[in-house]
Amino acid sequence: MDSARLNRLGAACLLAVLAVGASWGIAHTAVPEPLPARSGVAIPRPEVPAGGSIDELVAGASVEKGRAIADRQCAMCHSMGPGGPAIIGPNLYGVVGTHVGDIPGYEFSDALKAHKDETWTNATLSRWLGGPADYAPGTKMSFPGIASETDRADVIAYLRSLHPEKPE
Ligand code: HEC
């Protein structure tokens, strides 16, 4: 085979590969897979990236680690015991499950009160603690946030533990 013929053969192969690639690409663009299930209900965007929902993370989280993080990062502004005083922020005993910005006797910012229809769940707490100023721009909680999702889960597990024993 002379080199001109080899070149032609090479070019032909290349074209074939390109053609297959292109049609694969077109096919995949034209037919998205998997076909999205159409439902009438808007599917909320998941709060957390792949790797487990925040509920799963909290279920497997460490209350002890959460307490240690809170001692270092929250205690200067928040008391955690039953009937504790407001420091810079409100007392956080029993906060999980209550409405946002709804602790009697504490004057919340309008920024946080704007969320008062929401309750403190794993998901809202994770968003809040991940970046208070993102969740409630203008909040008076001057705290940069906890970047690590597992650290947030530990803190949330600790906050969840702060409630009276439920009667059997
Ligand atoms: C520099 C002081 C400061 C630090 C540190 C701080 N907070 Fe706060 N926190 C506040 C203030 C002030 C508010 C009230 C915010 C507002 O009204 O905008 C608040 C509000 C909150 C609320 C909302 C309470 C409710 O009933 O709506 C939660 C929950 C909370 N903080 C948790 C934490 C946790 C957990 C940490 C530690 C990881 C922390 N905070 C660290 C000052 C602080």
In a domain, 143, yes or no: yes
Range of the domain at 122: 54-161
Q: How far is the CA of 60 from the centre of ligand 1 (A)?
A: 24
Domain count, the chain: 1
pTM of the model: 0.75
Instruction: Give nearest CA residue, ligand 1 atom 18.
Output: 139
Tens digits of per-residue pLDDT, 108-121? Answer: 999 999 999 999 99
Tell me if 114 is assigned to some domain. yes
Both tokens of 102, joined, read 């709804």
Question: Is residue 157 in a domain?
Answer: yes
User: Ligand 1, from 76, 77, 99, 146: best to mutate by most atoms within 8 Å of Cβ?
Assistant: 77
User: Rounded mean pLDDT of 23-30?
Assistant: 60
User: How far is the CA of 74 from the CAs of 98, 113, 126, in angstroms?
Assistant: 19, 20, 15
